């Protein structure tokens, strides 16, 4: 495994076409696009890493996987009255379907869906209480109490968050929100601004590899059925309107973020985190996707076979 990821890392370091760093969040536009990291965590506790795998980056939409897991724990199937579970086929920040579908987002991973999930888990609590709960959960699944929020990124998102504010107010206009829109948005921006390394993220994904249990720590996080369902949502919706392309090229459940990270799950085999800040035209990590494609070719880990 170390040889495989060293090879992948060497290939990615040399790539000249690295995509574009997200520029609609000014703080993310400052990140050096020359970086690349990968970590592969196995259920037996072994972790293989290469490149900038210890560097912290903004996990952005990967955090939506964690808030969905928390929401399912708190609300169970009632989550599905707040968001759907179908791919949207539209960009991550699109508003068009919301009008046709009475303010109910297609899935929990597009921005509108993740904002609705925050409203569902707040349950009348203050933003800082909900954020503490989200951070506690992420620290628990990653088995690392040092994980925190990058306040500069959160502020940058807040200052340029007109699109997300529009989505939130539009949903609220259908009477769908139980908490003040500004509290929901502030909480959403902050959970997107959690910083993690590939090493920490790969650890955090382990519960989805082994039927809801992080076998490296022995902690049961969710039931086997719930882990399976979360994986299927990641496969269908985790890369927005690029989900079909990702399934075709990589064939693993995965969740991307505009910080350039991707967390991918090879059920029964490994949790894989990759990071390279340059994005493709859809907003998914360009080299991260290429790296996962190479990894799957070398390991045969695609859920669709060799």
* Chain contacts with ligand DON (rule: CB under 6 A): 60-61, 92-93, 111, 157, 164, 192, 256-258, 283-284
Whether residue 64 lies in the annotated active site: yes
* Minimum CB distance to ligand DON, residue 33 (Å): 16
Q: Is 13 a catalytic residue?
A: no
Rounded Cα distance, 291 and 194, in Å: 23
Annotated active-site residue in 79, 94, 188, 222 = 188
| 266 SS3 class | strand
Quickly count: other Cβ atoms within 10 Å of residue 206's Cβ. Answer: 26
User: What ranges make up the beta strands (E) of the chain?
Assistant: 37-41, 47-51, 57-58, 148-149, 194-196, 213-214, 219-220, 254-256, 261-266, 270-275
Question: How near is the Cβ of 193 to ligand DON at its closest, in Å?
Answer: 8
Nearer to ligand DON, 36 or 92 (CB): 92
258 in a known ligand binding site: yes
What is the closest distance, in whole angstroms, from the C-beta atom of residue 62 to ligand DON in the complex? 7
If one counts every other C-beta atom within 10 angstroms of the C-beta of residue 97, the result is 18
Task: Note if 146 is an active site residue.
Answer: no
Closer to ligand DON by Cβ: residue 47 or 183: 183
Taking the least distance from each CB to ligand DON, the nearer of 119 and 157 is 157
Q: For this structure, is 61 an active site residue?
A: yes
Q: What is the C-alpha separation between 43 and 64, in angstroms, rounded?
A: 23
Q: Token digits for 89? A: 């086929």
Which distant-in-sequence residues (6+ apart) come within 8 Å of 111 by Cβ?
61, 92, 93, 163, 164, 167
Give min distance, CB of 52 to ligand DON, in A: 19
157 among the known binding-site residues?
A: yes
C-alpha 94/C-alpha 108 separation (Å) is: 13
**Cβ of residue 92: shortest distance to ligand DON, in angstroms?**
4
Q: Is 188 among the catalytic positions?
A: yes
Q: According to the annotation, is 248 in a ligand binding site?
A: no
86 is in an annotated binding site: no
Query: Of all residues in this chain, which one has the CB nearest to ligand DON in the complex?
Result: 61
Instruction: Give the bridge partners for 38, in sequence order.
Output: 50, 274
Nearer to ligand DON, 42 or 247 (CB): 247
* Residues pairing with 161 in the sheet: none
d(CA 204, CA 143): 8
Binding-site positions for substrate read 61, 111, 157, 164, 188, 240, 258
Binding-site positions read 61, 111, 157, 164, 188, 240, 258
**Catalytic residues, which ones?**
61, 64, 188, 240, 258
């Amino acid at each position: 495994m170390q040889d495989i990821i060293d090879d992948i890392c060497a290939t990615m370091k040399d790539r000249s076409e690295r995509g574009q760093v997200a520029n609609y969040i000014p703080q993310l536009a400052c990140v050096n696009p020359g970086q690349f990291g990968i970590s592969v965590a196995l259920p037996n506790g072994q972790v293989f890493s290469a490149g900038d795998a210890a560097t912290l980056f903004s996990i952005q939409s990967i955090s939506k996987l964690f808030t969905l897991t928390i929401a399912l724990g708190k609300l169970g199937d009632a989550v599905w009255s707040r968001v759907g579970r179908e791919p949207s086929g539209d960009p991550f920040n699109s508003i068009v379907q919301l009008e046709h579908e009475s303010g109910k987002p297609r899935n929990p991973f597009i921005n509108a869906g993740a904002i609705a999930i925050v409203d569902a888990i707040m349950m009348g609590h203050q933003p800082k209480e909900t954020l503490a709960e989200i951070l506690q959960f992420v620290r628990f699944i990653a088995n690392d109490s040092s994980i925190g929020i990058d306040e500069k990124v959160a502020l940058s998102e807040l200052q340029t968050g007109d699109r997300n504010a529009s989505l939130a107010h539009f949903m609220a206009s259908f009477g769908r929100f139980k908490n003040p829109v500004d509290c929901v948005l502030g909480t959403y921006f902050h959970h997107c601004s959690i910083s993690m390394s590939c090493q920490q993220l790969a650890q955090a994904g382990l519960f989805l590899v082994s039927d809801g249990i992080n076998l490296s720590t022995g902690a049961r996080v969710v039931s086997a059925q719930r882990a399976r369902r979360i994986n299927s949502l990641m496969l269908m919706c985790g890369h927005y309107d690029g989900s079909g392309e990702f399934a075709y090229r990589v064939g693993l459940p995965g969740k991307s973020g505009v910080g350039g990270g991707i967390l991918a799950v090879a059920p029964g085999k490994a949790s894989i985190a990759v990071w390279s800040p340059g994005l493709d035209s859809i907003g998914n990590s360009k080299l991260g996707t290429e790296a996962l494609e190479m990894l799957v070719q070398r390991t045969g880990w695609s859920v669709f076979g060799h």
